[in-house]
Structure 1
Amino acid sequence: MSKLKERVVRHSPSRGTGSPDVWGIYEPDTGSIQYICADPATKKAALIDIAWNFDPQHYRFSTESMDQVLDLVRENGLTVEWVLDTHPHADHVMASAHLKERTGAPNAIGEKVHDIAKLWEEIYNMPGVFDPDRDFDRLLAEGETFRIGELEVRVMLSPGHTLGSITYVCGDAAFTHDTLMQPDVGTSRADFPGGNTAQLWTSIQDILALPPQTRIFVGHDYGTDERDEPEWEATVAEHKAGNRHVKDGTSREEWIKRRDERDATLPLPDRILAALQINLRGGRLPPAEDDGRVYLKLPVNRF
């Protein structure tokens, strides 16, 4: 049986002083990779891009992914210090608000979520409904730093997939979200509202300028024709040597043309129109209406 249909967990151990322990947790319904990044010395941890499971056929939610992550936290004696997201996701609903309630840890995302919120307020025709200052405890800027235990984390603005995506760099680990895919796949799409192929190229080059042995942890994997097991870790050196889209020697113009042509063939993710109006509330549903039920709004003939 293909492991692409299973909830795969792998531990990438610390490599020494200043290097975090990382657990990757594969979510098979969306091909998303969720992460625990922990300081080995203090056992303090951050949860990164955790999913709140959503069934787009029945519009029902469940918590098995966040439950699995919190079980791993307990099994490894960790204490959650941060709940982090790299961007408002299009393909899964973020568990940020629920994890904040369950762990007591503050939640954070990039400060340009303000601009993403304005863009999607227009798409949904819901002016003023999204308030990132209300729904996130910290909005992180380019170059800002914070700590997980004794480890310093640096924020890199990495636009292109969205206009406000960020990368978290913690020691020799970089959580690069939807910029790079695994070397045998290439790179991520840039055709969602606010996306920009040229900006994504620049963001990827900034990531590949990190030290060669930096472990790059990507946001998604869907396997390949030759590989039916999910993967999500490769070094900067491995990407520069063998990433099928952006290895050394690839020209900017060649990549932009290839990426734009590829993106033009891709369908809209089946969760995006539900997910964005929840994720831009920090993973909270809209308020219940007078019948006690919650409703989502979907634009017709917009995409």
Structure 2
Amino acid sequence: MPSSAQIQAFFDEATHTVTYLVADPATRQAAVIDPVLDYDHRSGKASTASADRVLAAAHEQALEIVWVLETHAHADHLSAAPYLKERTGAQVAIGEHIREVQILFRPVFNLDDVSGDGSEFDRLLRDGETLAIGDLTVGVMHTPGHTPACVSYRIGDAVFVGDTLFMPDYGTARADFPGGSARTLYQSIQRLLALPPQTRLFMCHDYKAPGRDHFAWETTVADERARNVHVHEGVSVDEFVALRQHRDATLAAPTLLLPSIQVNIRAGRLPEAESNGVRYLKVPIRLSN
């Protein structure tokens, strides 16, 4: 069945991230998927300009934001979830396997204030669980591989896939972060590609593949099956794993990896201010021989 959801995309070119405002036209309730907090790593300055654009659009359309939905704990941007929650009262939700990600990264940054049980979030979502945006039903699909906690959100004929897939000419997500697995990612992608061919897939990122002169973030299951450069029909799991592992070995760490992870496993909350009123992020330093 076609989705009756009203979908609006907001592209943040600095992090190549797409935030979605998804609304039920009947009840005017809405959710924000993967919101971005603007952060300049060189200066340490943060702003809510991107989130404010989403809020302004919701206000103009008389929408009530009731959910902030994270597809995973992002490694390339800080989440604006706490700001949206403060401004709207929305609940912040993420896949239940965020617990594993917290436990993986808590010792990396020595974050004694991270629970390890996901209680920083308002709701932890299980595979197959549903939630409501007004009269719309949101189905939760656990799609790990990029991280253990990745989920995709299915609303009618629309699926918001997070970092699991990219546009067909760009391929798939990396799987070399702690807890990641190229083999698991392949299985998650096959689950998505088993959906009806006309299903619309909405990406969390676009990096404008070589030869394409514009950013894009919406495609279909049929298009991914036919044209995805990493995982089109006929690519075996072993072929994909070899390709993915070779490619991942060439990739540098995301620019905002260190600040993003330690903030996003806290549901987007920044560290508490210290005695001088300033908040500080940690940078683990390992001296090599």
Taking structure 2 as the reference length, the TM-score comes to 0.96
1:244 corresponds, among 224, 229, 237, to 229
Match for residue 105 of structure 1?
A: 90
**1:132 CA displacement:** 5.5
Please state if 1:197 is matched with 2:182.
yes
Please state if 1:68 is matched with 2:34.
no
2:107 corresponds, among 122, 128, 150, to 122
Paired with 2:270 and 2:143, the residues of 1 have a C-alpha distance of 27
Match for residue 85 of structure 1?
A: 70
**1:122 CA displacement:** 1.7
Paired with 1:144 and 1:195, the residues of 2 have a C-alpha distance of 23
Matches within 5 A, 1:18-97: 18-97=3-82
Judge conservation of contact 1:88–1:276 (CA < 8 Å) in 2: yes
**1:75 CA displacement:** 2.2
Provide closer, same or farther for how the CA distance between residues 78 and 144 of structure 1 changes in structure 2, counting only shifts above 3 A.
same
Moved more, 223-232 or 96-105: 223-232
**1:135 CA displacement:** 2.0
Moved more, 54-63 or 33-42: 33-42
1:262 corresponds, among 244, 247, 260, to 247
Unaligned ranges ≥5, structure 1 = 1-14
Q: Give the AA of the match of 2:94.
A: I
Identical residues among aligned pairs (%): 47
**1:128 CA displacement:** 5.0
Q: Give the AA of the match of 1:181.
A: F
Q: Over aligned residue pairs, what C-alpha RMSD do you find? A: 1.6
Match for residue 227 of structure 1?
A: 212
Paired with 2:52 and 2:115, the residues of 1 have a C-alpha distance of 27
Unaligned ranges ≥5, structure 2 = none
Paired with 1:202 and 1:34, the residues of 2 have a C-alpha distance of 25
Superimposed CA distance per residue, residues 98-129 of structure 1 (whole angstroms, 9 cap, x where no aligned partner):
10000111111111111100100121123453
User: How many pairs does the alignment contain?
Assistant: 288
Superimposed CA distance per residue, residues 163-211 of structure 1 (whole angstroms, 9 cap, x where no aligned partner):
1111111111100000110011111111111111111000100011111
Paired with 1:204 and 1:302, the residues of 2 have a C-alpha distance of 38
Superimposed CA distance per residue, residues 223-281 of structure 1 (whole angstroms, 9 cap, x where no aligned partner):
02211311000011111111111111111111111111001000001111111111111
Match for residue 12 of structure 1?
A: none
Judge conservation of contact 1:117–1:130 (CA < 8 Å) in 2: yes
Judge conservation of contact 1:131–1:281 (CA < 8 Å) in 2: no
Judge conservation of contact 1:22–1:37 (CA < 8 Å) in 2: yes
